């Protein structure tokens, strides 16, 4: 009587297919992670909270990216937090949200048909004591994705 050896090829193919499905699922899920304005603002501040200013910069609308090169933003933002404020991280909360129609970042900039203004409260504990900053942050759509802009 002959003993059949198990063929490992089907098992390898199944494992590869499962891995591909998992990778596609993770990518699909992460693309939906910023599917509303509050998500992109929260993600932006989470990156900044972690000191990942480069990833935060990536969430800016292109008009914001024109205002700061990535290198300049990362350098200046980390310098402000760490050197000037003397902090390594902060807490944040989105305390208010409002939809605005036909909003402009600056007087000479394009009009965004819809923007969401969110007031972000950042709480810092620094060598100079505790303090809170409130900033209005706007989320607008660019090429189908929500992006961050500030008002100037």
Question: Average of pLDDT values for 27-53?
Answer: 82
Question: Average of pLDDT values for 21-42?
Answer: 70
Higher pLDDT, 108 or 139: 139
What Cα–Cα distance (Å) separates residue 118 from each residue in 1, 31, 45, 67, 82?
A: 75, 21, 12, 21, 25
Locate tokens 């969401």: which residue?
Answer: 116
Report how far Cα 74 is from the mean position of its chain's Cα atoms.
14
Question: Average of pLDDT values for 57-71?
Answer: 97
CA–CA separation, 71 and 79 (whole Å): 12
Residue 100 in contact with residue 116, Cβ under 8 Å? yes
Residue 57 phi, psi dihedral angles, 5° rounding: -60, -35
pTM of this prediction?
A: 0.75
How does pLDDT run across 77-111, given as a tens digit for each residue? 989 888 888 888 899 999 999 999 999 999 998 89
Find the radius of gyration of the CA atoms of the chain: 22
Q: Is the pLDDT of residue 31 over 50?
A: no
Percent of the residues in the chain that have a pLDDT greater than 70, as a whole number: 88
Report how far Cα 16 is from the mean position of its chain's Cα atoms.
31
Nearest alpha carbon to residue 103 among 66, 65, 151:
151
CB-based contacts of 14, cutoff 8 Å, min separation 6: none
CA–CA separation, 91 and 80 (whole Å): 16
């Amino acid at each position: 009587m002959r003993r059949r050896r198990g063929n490992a090829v089907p098992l390898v193919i199944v494992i590869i297919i499962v891995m591909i499905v998992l990778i596609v699922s993770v990518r699909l899920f992460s693309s939906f992670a910023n599917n509303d304005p509050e998500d992109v603002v929260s993600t932006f501040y989470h990156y900044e909270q972690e000191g990942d200013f480069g990833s935060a910069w990536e969430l800016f609308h292109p008009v914001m990216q024109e205002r700061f090169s990535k290198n300049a933003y990362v350098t200046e933002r980390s310098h402000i937090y760490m050197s000037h404020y003397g902090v390594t991280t902060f807490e944040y909360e989105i305390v208010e949200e409002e939809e605005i129609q036909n909003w402009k970042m600056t007087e000479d900039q394009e009009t965004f048909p819809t923007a969401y203004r969110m007031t972000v409260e950042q709480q810092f504990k620094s060598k100079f004591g505790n303090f809170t900053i409130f900033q209005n942050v706007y989320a607008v759509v660019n090429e189908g994705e929500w992006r961050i802009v500030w008002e100037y």
